[in-house]
Amino acid sequence: MPRYDLIAATRGAREFDLAILNANLVNVFTCEVYPADIGIFEGRIALVAPAGVEHLEARQVIDGTGKWAAPGFIDSHVHIESSMVTPPPFAEAVVPMGTTAVVIDPHEIGNVFGRAGIRYMLDTSEGLPLRVLVTISSCVPAAEGIETAGAAFHAEDIREMLGWPRVVGIAEVMDFPAVISGAPRMVEILEVGIEANTAIQGHSPQVRGRALNAYLAAGIHSDHETVDPAEMHEKLQLGMLPFVRSGSFRSVGQAIPDMLNSLPFMEVALCTDDIFPADLLARGHMDRVIREMIAGGVMPALAYRAASLNAARHYGFRDLGGIAPGYVADLVLLSDLEDVRASVVIANGRIVARDGALLQPAPRPAGNLPARNSVIIPDLTPESFHMPAPITEGEIAVNAIRVLHNRYIDLETITLRVENGHIDYASLPENVCISVVIPRHGQAAAASFAPVTEINILHGAMASTVAHDSHNLIVVGRNPEDMLLAARTLKACGG
């Protein structure tokens, strides 16, 4: 947009499209909150002034008395696929909560459909009231040589996709052992990001000391996996930007807000990473992360800054994430500052949501995926689900995956009985099931087995092809016939 008309509107020579009067401005540049008037013209902020100082002529006026005006929330790292919907319904859910931009990593669909999956997420997010920015998945598969996925991205693939529209960086580099050891594939992918001068997201849980230095020396900029304050402090000291995460796998807690309050120059951005559908609808999206930060004692304006300006600057957007002249007019009017309740949501200068509801359904842009069933598995029999053992008869101590109530896992050692060279399912303790991972992308790889505790299935079986990060077919049960039925059902329906 030529700036002549915007400048004229700022001067008062043109009428604003929209004016917000007497709102409490959450100024994320100075972390002050004060009454202000805001003029919007052709999708951008044209004027911000102390309330009542300037006369604003506008075609539409919102009385902001008793409300707070904050920049639209930016999720600095999220996988839309975890919410089990495509981008349009995701936008319909999160925009009324105040989210106006998301930086997505589509590596879940990328691990199944490769480039076509990334392209699909771009195509189906075009023209939404939600600004969908894309980072190109660095780990397809997530761990080369360990996982088998439906595609493999190498440096040349990443280089090409970085040129696609709305692509803003390289997504979380999950295979941190490969980076630290200097494995060629990962280092070459990082070199492509460095050459493009783009943001490179990290993923480095519990990486400290010399290993962390090596990881950062490779060119990585951020991390959303840190929960330990000492680990976060070290990463901050070494120049990394933490993304404080609150989603279905983790809440902010108290340690991070305490640390943020103790280090006055500490900068963080906020993200959700993965939110399941019912959880999103019940607890919110970015509003939940801000709410938890404030509940932990973080100054509200600082929490809103972390949810907007810090993310925008990290990805190189000079006109996003704040309410200031020339900035994109993405903003939220809140009825409650600390409880983070969006009353009016404005995207690109247009009112798109009021009182928790989108004013118009999000458009459904077309996107193409390969027209095939992606659950490509071999013919299975009940014997396919018999867990082999290294002895023929007797008892054996094995490692088991213990499922914790907070959705994390741990390892424990249990004793199981073996008959005819396989684990005897009939004698399994009540709290033990057997999990089987079957490659579903047509690979020749063999199935993998592991005992699982605390799932407590006594009859039947569970199966899913939503299985981070390569999304192979995983079946859990205690009876091979039931497990076979579950696997065949998923194959028949497409996953």
pLDDT per residue as tens, the chain (495 positions): 578 999 999 999 999 999 999 999 999 999 999 999 999 999 999 999 999 999 999 999 999 999 999 999 999 999 999 999 999 999 999 999 999 999 999 999 999 999 999 999 999 999 999 999 999 999 899 888 888 899 999 999 999 999 999 999 999 999 999 999 999 999 999 999 999 999 999 999 999 999 999 999 999 999 999 878 889 899 999 999 999 999 888 887 777 788 777 777 788 999 999 999 999 999 999 999 999 999 999 999 999 999 999 999 999 999 999 999 999 999 999 999 999 999 999 999 999 999 999 999 999 998 888 778 899 999 999 999 999 999 999 999 999 999 987 667 889 999 999 999 999 999 999 999 999 999 999 988 889 999 999 988 888 999 999 998 899 999 999 999 999 999 999 999 998
Specify the pairing of strand 269-271 against strand 241-245: parallel
Contact status, residue 272 vs residue 286, Cβ threshold 8 Å: yes
pLDDT of residue 458: 85
Q: How far is CA 333 from CA 6, 69, 263, in A?
A: 23, 5, 29
**In terms of Cα–Cα distance, which of 171, 158, 168, 182 is closest to 220?**
171
pLDDT of residue 407: 63
Distance CA 293, CA 164 (A): 35
Residue 10: which region, alpha, beta or left (left: phi > 0; alpha: psi -120 to 50)?
alpha
pLDDT of residue 406: 61
* 3 state DSSP class of 89: helix
Contact status, residue 143 vs residue 174, Cβ threshold 8 Å: yes
Distance CA 128, CA 362 (A): 6
Distance CA 117, CA 119 (A): 5
Distance CA 53, CA 36 (A): 9
pLDDT of residue 1: 57
Return the half-sphere exposure (C-beta side, CA atoms, 13 A cut-off) of residue 282: 7
